[in-house]
Chain A
Amino acid sequence: MSRVAVVVFPGSNCDADTLAAAREAGTEAYFVWHRDSDLQRADTVILPGGFSYGDYLRSGAIARFSPIMRAVTDHAHEGGAVLGICNGFQILCEAGLLPGGLMRNARLKFLSRPVRVRVESTDTPFTSLYRPGEELTFPIAHGDGRYVVDAREAAELEAEGQVVWRYIDDNPNGSTNAIAGVCSAGRNVVGIMPHPERRTTPVLGGQDGARIFLSMEARHATQHADAVRALGNQHSRV
């Protein structure tokens, strides 16, 4: 059972849904308050959606200086898995843990509706249980969801396979290359603008999002099995 820290900022509003989705996937998920400095031995950290600090100045700009973000940054630099959903994605970009930034939707309206996305990379801690190219339905709910990178960086993200999800059918917010989610160069930090935690059980209209949470639990189980094997080999040599 992996340990999943869901960070709660003042203004987070998807924290409970995210915690429930992570627990449903079999993880040991718990809340961490943004003023804490300790992630309590988390295997995975999730920054949930919402409107931290009322989106003042820029979405995520103030939350990225919360005390817990020092621990999140250390965790990311050590190769730990970090997922930012919606406002969490904005915070990770502001913190420099992900490339690019998120700006006002191209057509200004706050958008709250299901969209279609394609899984572009399965080589991340959160997408390993999807098939490359698989098409999914996720809800979006954002006003500042237009993902922006310059042309050179966009080409780099495409070349390195750092685009994890892409909007298909239409590009709801005008994102560069219709990018809906990206990962870091190390692939352990992932940001997604749609809300997979709102699509994890049939009663919510579908379960296309469930495997994001199952992927992180599966990754942990695999790593754990490797550790046990390593320990076993060592033991036999003694």
Chain B
Amino acid sequence: MSLLSVRNLSKAFGGLRAVSHLSFAVEAGEILGLIGPNGAGKTTVFNLITGFLPPTAGEIQLEGTNLVGLKPHAVAQRGVARTFQIVKPFRKLSVKENVTLAAFMRLPARRDAEAAAARVLDHVGLSAKLESAAADLTLAEQKRLEMARALATHPQLLLLDEPMGGLNPKEVEDASALVMRIRDTGVTVILVEHVMKAIMRLSDRVIVVHHGEKIADGPPDQVVRNPEVIAAYLGERVA
């Protein structure tokens, strides 16, 4: 059975169909790239899976159990963690406290949660910043903090919403290596990203969404040659 299966997922905002009859599956252990032009509905898909938005129609199942209708915190407790495209740290709290709060979900004792937070922060390379306020970090560091916070909930499935957006090439390299390391610890990843180099390198499989519909699904090198995908990104004439 797939780790996550999405069937006929639709979301309408008034007359706008942000997501339309979208179906896909995510296998345990893979990195699935989710790409598409701006406004294609990628973030909406994340919001639907994690319970931040209720779907208009469709099914979402994690290991065969339904996720639709659950509040975000309940989805998190079932093992689905996410980051936000526009970073949303607890700005006034320290880096350590940011991640400790997330670790509380599995480890109710503060000492255990702090130890787990320290391990995760070491893993993402933020050990030197433990006591800094989250607001004082650079964007690259804040993106790492997003990932650390999500990882501290000990997820099976991690949804990364543009973890490399706005980073310089060196930072993109580092972030790619981090996503690889995360997958190697056994966490399944869905990656929304516009940095194509990273998507090509990291993804085992890529799904392309356009106007809320899936237009391609396959290995990255095949998907980028797909005429429909090229048309979606660059317009009909180029394709």
Q: Report whether chain A binds chain B.
A: no
